[in-house]
Amino acid sequence: MNFKKGMVMLVASLILTLVACGSDDATSDSDSNEDINYSEEVDRTIIGIEPGAGISVTTETAIEEYDSLSGWTLETPSTAAMITELEEAINAEEPIIVTGWNPHWMFAQFPDMKYLEDPKGVYGEAENIQTLARQGFEEDHPEAYKLVDQFNWTVEDMEQIMYDANESDEDIADVSAQWVEDNEDKVSEWTDGVGEGDGSTIELASTPWDSERASSNVLATVLEQNGFEVEVTPVDPSIVFESIANGDADATVAAWLPFTHADFYESVKDDVVDLGPNLEGAKIGLVVPSYMDIESIEDLEAAE
């Protein structure tokens, strides 16, 4: 009886010791993570891309809307400079906060990254990339209009071109032309019922990012195969919307809606023809390496 009691007590105290050690460890671990003040470490700075990007406008809105971002700065160097800074930070395991989006190859190249939660929904949920046309495009070029309207693909399609171009260092235009050759079935759905073009030139407004260089080059290739000439003009998103509204361009497949380009769309929506999504499942937001122990924009800290 005594021996049994002794054993029970011994086991009980062992368990207590183990539990105590375990919780000690856990406490000191999380203490050391909590010690890192990420907001200070990144100097309350978000590394963004070009100032004219929709995501730059949206990030300025986030800085206004979130108390936790009050006093923060958005730097807007360029997409290439942002990627370089991101790569350097990841190699050194240093904290960094960038503006990020899908489709893009950055998540394939740096798989250990996460979007910060956005409880206020400033960056929105998954969104679409949409096709817009100028008023009168359908009447002036019905066959081209039909093809542009039927253009529709997936995140995976677009990313395949972006990854291949990034990995091979080939031009996106060439990789896109190859994609068209390799995806006859999909392309034949876009050209279904489309009559031969009359050689007139179709003006596509686009943006300079790889995602839109892929989509515009794919569509241009297919239009050209169907008897049209095509001119693709990469400009800032605000100019894309303006040029469709004032008729300088015939169409665009580069409108990220309803979030990223909300402001640009709002100002022209009565003067453009909305042909709906050509890709579903795009996304934008603030992105950090996974080794940073924060989950939400609200985990950041305002300037004093």
Which residues form the interface with ligand PBE (CB under 6 A)? 49, 53-55, 101, 207, 209, 211-212, 237, 256, 260, 284
For the CB of residue 249, give the shortest distance to ligand PBE in the complex, in Å. 16
For the CB of residue 215, give the shortest distance to ligand PBE in the complex, in Å. 10
Q: Which amino acid is at 67?
A: D
Residue 34 and residue 243: Cα distance in Å, rounded? Answer: 49
| Angle at the Cα of 193 from the Cα atoms of 187 and 196, rounded to 5 degrees | 85
For the CB of residue 261, give the shortest distance to ligand PBE in the complex, in Å. 6
> Which string of DSSP letters, residue by residue, matches 69-92?
GTT-EEE---HHHHHHHHHHHHHT
Pick between residue 82 and residue 220 the one whose CB is nearest to ligand PBE: 82
Instruction: Take residue 143 and report the two structure tokens written for it.
Output: 């066959």
Q: Which amino acid is at 59?
A: T
For the CB of residue 85, give the shortest distance to ligand PBE in the complex, in Å. 16
Pick between residue 17 and residue 154 the one whose CB is nearest to ligand PBE: 154
- Contact (CB, 8 A) for 72 and 63: yes
Residue 90 and residue 79: Cα distance in Å, rounded? Answer: 16
Beta bridge partners of 280: 128
Pick between residue 134 and residue 283 the one whose CB is nearest to ligand PBE: 283
Instruction: Take residue 56 and report the two structure tokens written for it.
Output: 């730059």
Pick between residue 103 and residue 289 the one whose CB is nearest to ligand PBE: 103
Instruction: Take residue 55 and report the two structure tokens written for it.
Output: 């995501």
Q: Tokens 């730097």 appear where?
A: 75
Which residue number has the CB closest to ligand PBE? 54
Pick between residue 49 and residue 165 the one whose CB is nearest to ligand PBE: 49
Helical packing angle, 155-168 and 210-225, nearest 10°: 100
Other residues' Cβ atoms within 10 Å of the Cβ of residue 57: 18
Helix (H, G, I), strand (E, B) or coil at 157: helix
For the CB of residue 234, give the shortest distance to ligand PBE in the complex, in Å. 11
For the CB of residue 250, give the shortest distance to ligand PBE in the complex, in Å. 20
For the CB of residue 294, give the shortest distance to ligand PBE in the complex, in Å. 22
Pick between residue 54 and residue 197 the one whose CB is nearest to ligand PBE: 54
Pick between residue 42 and residue 253 the one whose CB is nearest to ligand PBE: 253
